[in-house]
A and B are shown apart, each in its own frame.
Chain A
Amino acid sequence: MARAPRSVSRRLLFAVAVPLVLFFALTVGVLDGVFRELANVALRELLAEQVVGLVTAVDLNRDGGIDVNLLDPESRLEVPGSGLYAAVRDENGKLLWSSASLSGTGLELGMRLAVGGVDFRYQRARDGTQVAELSRGLQWVYAAGESKNLVFTAADSTEPQRRQLWRFRQQMAGWFGALVLALLATMAWMMRRALAPVRRLEQEIAAVEAGAAQGLGAAYPRELAGVTTGLNALLESERNRIARYRDTLGNLAHSLKTPLAVIRATLGTVESADTQRATIQMEIDRMAQIVEHQLKRAAAGGGATLGQASVAVLPLLSELRAAMLKVHADKDLRIDLEVPAQLGFLGDTGDILELLGNVLDNACKWCRSRIAVSAQLDEARALPQRLSIVVEDDGPGIATTDRMRVIERGVRADEHVPGHGLGLSMVRETVAIYGGRFFIDASPGLGGARVELQLPGRSIPGAVG
């Protein structure tokens, strides 16, 4: 199932937050481990010191047992349940002495242990507190050549350590939590700032959609400038297209009214049926011509817009040449193409075919037998480069007055004189849509007409002749 893609900023935030949180969790884990390890080491050292103190406090009594004379009578060893405990056993594990603090805790301190043995373990007192216990088996020499093997044990409650660890964890969680939040907040703020142009783009597009704006503003960062310029070009071409459709519809409706009026008037007259027929036939022809002209005008593309691929000109001209030779089969034509293969037109294939088709068809109609097509690209200019296509023929040429009439702006369909049309006003309009230029003069080489089209173009690399 396809889900709608999440917003870019959320995605970015997510991509940053997940590793960040994982990283901090790992750090906290490692620090926690290190802290516990250090506390353990400190506890063992403390217990080892207690064992040494115990050893120095032990004395042999009269009946061969031992006495323990604690140096500090206020010591925690004397206070029951103080947390610090000690015991001495003989090598067989028999308890010889235990500290007063041990009474009532339910703890069994010490064990059998060989001389030189060390044991560290935890156990739980009756009240549930945990106790760490260190035992050492030692040979206690009390006179020259006289010794006893004893096991000294010291134990301490881990409660203070546990509290410390808890406090450490609380502090760590507080600091790291605050740090993560601060980093994420910074990140979110930075992303907001970085994505601000995108939000602006969104708003401006919404404004265009709502009809409040004509296009997008300028001053977008480099990464977005391509998109915004392209969108503006698209909007512009769409607007032109719509304007052209509107014009076409208006022209069509208005220019059809005249012939309709003539037909209506003709039917109302007392003229003979044949005359009426002829008039109506003429008006129908005129209407057909009007419809055709306006359709072609409306069908022309929107000029060079974004992402338009360039169309190779030579293959189109070759196809058109073959088509012209068929269509004008009643003439002994020779059409020479002198067009480099890499020339490309920046625009719609249908439009360039229409332009060249009309110009060539016109040349075929008027020439005696020779037509020459040449083209070149002004590669020195920036894109779009100027593609110029010249079609010359050896016909009678086009009179200067007709040239003016064809190029003149605003020649409407119903103003065309039937039979006298040169098919070139369509060409003029399409060339204008592409912001190009269109010239008619006399051909110096062939003596007939010379028609030049200047259009947006570009060189197509890799095209071979």
Chain B
Amino acid sequence: MRILVVEDEAVLREALRVDLTAAGHTVDVAADGEEGLYAGTEYPIDVAIIDLGLPKLSGLDLIRQLRARGKSFGVLILTARDRWQDKVEGLSAGADDYVAKPFHVAEVQARLAALLRRAGGWASPRLACGPIELDSRAQTVTVRGTAVELTSFEYRILEHLMLRAGEVLSKTELTERLYAQDFDRDSNVVEVLVGRLRRKLDPDDTLKPIETLRGRGYRLSLPRQSAPVAGTL
């Protein structure tokens, strides 16, 4: 996996680089926000570790700009300011998880593994397929404007199906969205979750949003609605 580390403290940056390289990853390092933006935009990064207090371009702005450029890799923030206000700000800006300083590299690695498994978790803020709308910032779902209460697993399955609407997704692929570890892969968790999703999204069985393709997986058959982009080819 290719990991980008954006950290201005040389000792920490070096420790992360050494330990993550030893764990078998390819590591790109950046010492400030602008370098980080360049690396994050130019290289095929799978996951980024971003310190919030960066020179030149703050960590929050870096994350916002990466997301604004359509970069959907997982972002783990490092923060010395361990108040919830700072964490919530970072997560709202588009980060996926945080680790508070001082940290153990082992903890960072565990968080990274989880992030890599559900890589690509960041969708555009709003997704719409047919009458189903999903707000990834608030993690809420509405059908024809009515809010639907989903558990976070149900939400994540739906988000993945919507992100790749029209494609067939295997049970294994969907299970990977849920668990950091490999256990539970053969369970029928996905079947149960899809069943619950169908009941919640389509209680009177008229919409039929999720198709089952026997032996292959599931597909969201509603058309993906993206806002028309004017003036581009």
- In the complex, what distance in Å separates the CA atom of A464 from the CA atom of B84? 25
0/1 string, A292-327, CB within 8 A of B gives 1: 100110010000000000000000001111110111
- The listed residue (B87, B97, B137, B151) touching A357 by CB distance below 8 A is B87
Name the distance in Å between A316's Cβ and chain B's nearest Cβ. 8
With contact pairs A318-B138, A331-B152, A334-B152 given, residues A326 and B91 touching in the complex (Cβ less than 8 Å): yes
Q: Are B97 and A322 in contact (CB under 8 A)?
A: no
Residue of B91, B156, B180 touching A322 (CB-CB under 8 A): B91
Q: Is B213 an interface residue (CB 8 A)?
A: no
Minimum distance in angstroms from B82 CB to a CB of chain A: 6
The reply to whether B102 and A354 contact each other, CB–CB distance below 8 Å, is: no
Contacts A332-B151, A353-B83, A356-B84: A321 and B139 contacting too (C-beta < 8 A)? yes
B98 within 8 A of A: yes
Q: Give A180 to B84 CA distance when docked, in angstroms.
A: 68
Contact A353 B84 (CB under 8 A): yes
Task: Tell me which of A299, A323, A330, A350 contacts B91 (CB under 8 A).
Answer: A323
Q: Which of A325, A356, A369 counts the most chain B CB atoms within 10 A?
A: A325
A292 partner residues in chain B, CB cutoff 8 A: 82, 100
Bound Cα distance from A98 to B73, whole angstroms: 126
| Residue from A329, A350, A356 within 8 A of B97 (CB atoms) | A329
Contact pick for B151, options A288, A295, A323, A333, CB 8 Å: A333
Do A323 and B83 contact each other (CB < 8 Å), given the known contacts A332-B153, A333-B151, A333-B152? no
Asked whether B97 lies within 8 Å of A326 as measured between CB atoms, the reply is yes
B150, B152, B153, B155 — most chain A CB neighbours (10 Å)? B152
CB of A376 within 8 Å of the partner chain: no
Pairwise interchain contact B83-A299, C-beta atoms closer than 8 A: yes
B124-149 at interface with A (beta carbon < 8 Å): 137-139, 149
**Chain A residues with CB below 8 A from B154, complex form:** 332
Contact A327 B98 (CB under 8 A): yes
| Residue among B85, B98, B137 having the largest count of chain A Cβ atoms under 10 Å | B85
Q: B83, B92, B153, B154: which has the most chain A beta carbons within 10 Å?
A: B83
Shortest Cβ distance from residue B123 to the other chain A in the assembled complex, whole angstroms:
13
Nearest-CB residue, chain B, relative to A335: B152
Q: Does A119 contact B (CB under 8 A)?
A: no
Residues of chain A within 8 A of B98, CB atoms compared: 327
Contact B153 A288 (CB under 8 A): no
Complex: how many Å from CA A319 to CA B96?
Answer: 13
Instruction: Chain A residues near B114: list those with CB within 8 A.
Output: 329-330
Q: Scan residues 334-371 of chain A and give those whose CB is less than 8 A from a CB of chain B.
A: 334, 336, 349-350, 353-354, 356-358, 361, 369
Shortest distance between the CB of B105 and any CB in chain A (Å): 13
Within 8 A of A (CB), among B64-109: 82-85, 87-88, 91-92, 95-98, 100, 102
* Chain B positions within 8 Å of A299 at CB level: 83
In this complex, the member of A292, A332, A333, A357 whose beta carbon has the largest number of chain B beta carbons within 10 angstroms is: A332
**CB of B219 closer than 8 Å to a CB of A:** no
> Smallest CB-CB separation from B193: which chain A residue?
A332
Flag if B150 contacts A322 (CB, 8 Å): no
Given A322-B92, A329-B118, verify A350-B83 contact (CB < 8 Å).
yes
> Interface digits, A103-116 against B, CB 8 Å rule (1 contact, 0 not)?
00000000000000
B82 near A296 (CB under 8 angstroms)? Answer: yes
CB distance from B156 to the nearest CB of A (A): 8
Most B Cβ at <10 Å: residue of A328, A334, A356, A361:
A334
Taken residue by residue from 151 to 165, chain B's Cβ proximity to chain A (1 for < 8 Å, 0 otherwise) reads as 111111000000000
Q: Which residues of A contact B121 (CB under 8 A)?
A: 329
Q: Whose C-beta in chain B lies nearest to the C-beta of A332?
A: B153
CA A338 to CA B227, docked complex, whole Å: 32
Cβ of A326 and Cβ of B138 under 8 Å apart? no
Q: What sequence of 0s and 1s flags, for each residue 179-190 of chain B, a beta carbon within 8 Å of any chain A beta carbon?
A: 110000000000
Complex formed: what's the CA distance from A141 to B96 in Å?
A: 129
Cβ-closest chain A residue relative to B156: A329
Which residues of chain A have C-beta atoms less than 8 A from B150's C-beta? 334
Taking a contact as CB atoms under 8 Å apart, the answer to whether B179 and A330 are in contact is yes
Give A327's nearest chain B residue, CB to CB: B97
List of A residues within 8 angstroms of B102 by Cβ: 288
Chain A residues contacting B96 (CB-CB under 8 Å) are 326, 329
Q: How far is the CA of A326 from the CA of B74 in the complex (A)?
A: 11
- Give every chain B residue within 8 A of A333 (Cβ-Cβ): 151-152
Is B138 a contact partner of A354 (Cβ separation < 8 A)?
no
* Chain B contacts with A in 179-229, Cβ cutoff 8 A: 179-180
B139-A325 in contact (CB<8A):
yes
**Chain B residue with Cβ nearest A284:** B102
Q: With the chains together, A334 CA to B95 CA distance in Å?
A: 21
- In contact, A357 and B118 (Cβ under 8 angstroms): no
For the complex, give the distance between the alpha carbons of A332 and B157 in Å. 11
List of B residues within 8 angstroms of A329 by Cβ: 96-97, 114, 118, 121, 152, 156
- Considering only CB atoms, which chain B residue lies closest to A361 in the complex? B84
Please measure, in the bound complex, the distance between the C-alpha atom of A358 and the C-alpha atom of B83, giving whole angstroms. 9
Judge whether A354 and B152 touch: CB under 8 Å.
no
Cβ-closest chain B residue relative to A350: B85
Instruction: List chain B residues, Cβ under 8 A from A358.
Output: 84
A325-B155, A356-B84 given; 6 more Cβ-contact pairs under 8 Å: A295-B82, A326-B91, A327-B87, A327-B91, A328-B152, A358-B84
Can you name 9 A-B residue pairings with CB atoms under 8 Å? Answer: A323-B84, A323-B91, A325-B152, A325-B155, A326-B139, A329-B121, A349-B85, A357-B88, A369-B151
Q: Which 5 residue pairs of A and B lie closest in terms of their CB atoms, listed nearest first? A: A357-B84, A332-B153, A334-B151, A323-B91, A350-B85
